[in-house]
Amino acid sequence: MPVFLDTTNPGFEADFQALLGAKREDSPDVDAIVADIIADVRTRGDAAVLDLTEKFDRIALTPETLKFSADEVATAVAQVSPSDRAALELAAERIRAYHERQMPEDASWTDDAGATLGWRWSAVSAAGLYVPGGLATYPSSVLMNAIPAKVAGVERLAITVPTPDGQINPLVLLAAELAGVDEIYRIGGAQAVAALAYGTESVAPVDKITGPGNAFVAAAKRRVFGKVGIDMIAGPSEILVIADKDNNPDWIALDLMSQAEHDESAQSILISDDAAFGQSVADAVERRLETLERRGIAGASWRDYGAIITVRSLEEAAELSNRIAPEHLELCVADPQTLSEKTVHAGAIFLGQYTPEAIGDYVGGPNHVLPTARSARFSSGLSVMDFLKRTTLSQMTPEALRAIGPAAEALAISESLEAHGLSVRARLEALND
């Protein structure tokens, strides 16, 4: 059973803190193993990647077969049913349209001193996308990671997708094709991250790595950060639903289970201003857990990390939501727009009872790669901005240098950086000759 909390109870704050502090991340001591894998790939290149792929994925590859050929992609894509292709194409179209609106503009202006200032945006040259394989594959994640990169203008986009026992989901390859991916490698794990970061004989290095993965992939991304950029270190999925009594309990139960079925460490929380409604949702969850295909996973998540919180008002619900800072936030209330203005810490907000979080996972348009583990307090979901760099531009005229140069010289002297000051002074003296 989930935890039932009520803000009117004297012990609520302690219980709520315990809920916030519950450690859900699957964090076995993998860092030393990952460090050895990265060192091995850096030293032996392809040979290390091939050996590790055979060990973990039970597939023997050669340098020539590390990458999917165009014919292999075409053969796999041909297996996709027309209905699945149409759904993926609709998703790609909507995701692309949404992210195209995120593209920032360059700027340039001349200030009162006569200096020309501004900035210019440019894409990273190459990006690598990690795609999970094995127990679950997510073509939607290919679209969510690859499309923003291509919209941003990334010239080369490579993805790595493990193929245990040689198995591949054709939808993953179709998603890569629709998104404009340039290279697809059938490798995974920490070795794939290392190959993308440092390069091997067959895998050229990239500038940024994005995409979800297990504890080994997360540890590898931490270790290669600095050599390359990364998007985030994502933890188990989570959803918070704020709902009033004027909702269908079964709908809300399904929304909660939509995240619980991801992972036994996922977390689903309901906040309501009506205790009876909260109990109705709990009952609906139990009924659904009798029939869900992934009921073992969803049931464990709900049992160990689920919560139903009764509050005095929706304003109090918003306050608790901001403290939770959820990855996904559903506002199933009469006036979701107004309540959304009070919920400032969330990865993504879904407004109204006809906007289930699952729409956002696939066809809504906004990105589904979102901050977890309360990191929505200080970070955002994946966007085109993750694949762009801002370069500042400055140009001084002689008049501008006369106007602001002496201040720069004074500050340089105050910091005991003589050459800094002299570089300005030399130009000022030349202007005064």
Q: What is the pLDDT along the chain (433 residues), one digit of tens a residue?
A: 899 999 999 999 999 999 998 876 656 688 999 999 999 999 999 999 999 999 999 999 999 999 999 999 999 999 999 999 999 999 999 999 999 999 999 999 999 999 999 999 999 999 999 998 765 678 999 999 999 999 999 999 999 999 999 999 999 999 999 999 999 999 999 999 999 999 999 999 999 999 988 889 999 999 999 999 999 988 889 999 999 999 999 999 999 999 999 989 999 999 999 999 999 999 999 999 999 999 999 999 999 999 999 999 999 999 999 999 999 999 999 999 999 999 999 999 999 999 999 999 999 999 999 999 999 999 999 999 999 999 999 999 999 999 999 999 999 999 999 999 999 999 999 998 7
Q: Cα-flanking dihedrals φ and ψ of residue 419, to 5°?
A: -65, -35
Of 3.40.50.720, 3.40.50.1980, 1.10.150.120, 3.40.1020.10, which CATH number belongs to 3-25+235-364? 3.40.50.1980
* Candidates 99, 183, 262, 328; catalytic one: 328
- The answer to whether the beta carbons of residues 216 and 34 sit under 8 Å apart is yes
CA distance 216 to 213: 8
Tokens of 186: 């059938």
* Candidates 183, 327, 330, 357; catalytic one: 327
Q: Helices 249-260 and 275-288 sit at what angle, rounded to 10 degrees?
A: 60
Tokens of 421: 């000051």
- Domain 3-25+235-364 identical in fold to domain 31-112+122-230: yes
Sheet holding 388-395, edge to edge: 107-110, 116-123, 388-395
Question: 291: burial class by Cβ within 10 Å (0-12, 13-18, 19+)?
Answer: exposed
60 Cβ contact partners less than 8 Å away, ≥ 6 residues apart: 50, 54
Which residue, among 293, 212, 187, has the nearest Cα to 26 in the 3D structure? 212
Question: Residue 325 is inside which H or E element, if any?
Answer: none
327 has catalytic annotation = yes
Give the DSSP letter of residue 125: S
pLDDT of residue 357: 97
Domain boundaries, the chain: 3-25+235-364, 31-112+122-230, 396-432
Angle at 131 between CA 140 and CA 369, to 5 degrees: 55
| Residues facing 157 on adjacent strands | 127
- The answer to whether the beta carbons of residues 424 and 408 sit under 8 Å apart is yes
CA distance 9 to 5: 8
Predicted TM-score of the model (pTM): 0.93
Tokens 């996904």, residue? Answer: 328
CATH class of 31-112+122-230: alpha beta
CA distance 382 to 386: 6
116 Cβ contact partners less than 8 Å away, ≥ 6 residues apart: 108, 109, 110, 393, 394, 395, 397
429 has catalytic annotation = no
Angle at 101 between CA 94 and CA 240, to 5 degrees: 65
CA distance 12 to 14: 6
Neighbours of 108 (CB within 10 A): 11
CA distance 16 to 22: 10
